[in-house]
């Protein structure tokens, strides 16, 4: 239930019309990551969830250090078009990102600095995102594959 609430908060932050002020988006993102880390702490006995938690922690660090949104740079977005009214220092609509000059990004190594050059909803991503996907794969594998030596419930 905690994870579902956290994902719902992220979806609200990305897609709901919350006005022109970025503060509600920032609060919702940080709150959602804290809730996801609570979910991880409850489920720490699962290796995939621990891996997922590492990725979430890296993303949360980058988000907090950049004022509540995940930083990305014009260079990262250079191959893509973003709304013409987005300026450096502003949140990119329908994302968790804020567009910042490279020198203004805190913890650049953890920011959304990698590009996915495929037409998808997710076009830029971070090392934390890669670790989250790895954790999800391990978790799905753990749930889908039979465990030998496990006693039936």
Which pLDDT value is given to residue 1? Answer: 92
Cβ atoms of 90 and 26 closer than 8 Å: no
Residue 81: what are its φ and ψ, rounded to 5°? -100, 135
Query: H/E/C letters for each residue in 42-72?
Result: HCCCCHHHHHHHHHHHHHHHHHHHCCCCEEE
Q: Could you tell me which of 30, 99, 98, 95 has the C-alpha nearest to residue 64?
A: 30
pTM exceeds cut of 0.95: no
Rounded to an integer, what distance in angstroms lies between the CA atom of residue 134 and that of residue 65?
A: 24
Give me the tens of pLDDT residue by residue for the chain, a chain 153 residues long: 999 999 999 999 999 999 888 999 999 999 999 999 999 999 999 999 999 999 999 999 999 999 999 999 999 887 776 667 789 999 998 899 999 999 999 999 999 999 887 776 678 999 999 999 999 999 999 988 876 655 555
In the chain, where are the structural domains located? 2-144
């Amino acid at each position: 239930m905690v994870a579902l609430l956290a994902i719902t908060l992220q979806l609200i932050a990305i897609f709901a019309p919350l006005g022109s002020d970025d503060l509600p988006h920032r609060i919702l993102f940080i709150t959602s990551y804290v809730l996801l880390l609570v979910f991880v702490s409850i489920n720490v006995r699962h290796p995939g969830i621990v891996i997922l938690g590492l990725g979430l922690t890296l993303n949360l660090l980058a988000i907090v250090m950049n004022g509540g949104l995940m930083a990305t740079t014009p260079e990262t977005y250079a191959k893509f078009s973003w709304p013409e009214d987005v300026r450096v220092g502003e949140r990119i609509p329908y994302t968790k990102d804020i567009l910042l000059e490279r020198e203004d990004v805190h913890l650049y190594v953890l920011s959304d600095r990698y590009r996915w050059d495929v037409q998808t909803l997710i076009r830029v991503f971070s090392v934390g995102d890669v670790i989250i996907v790895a954790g999800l794969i391990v978790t799905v594998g753990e749930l889908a594959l039979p465990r030998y030596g496990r006693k039936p419930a």
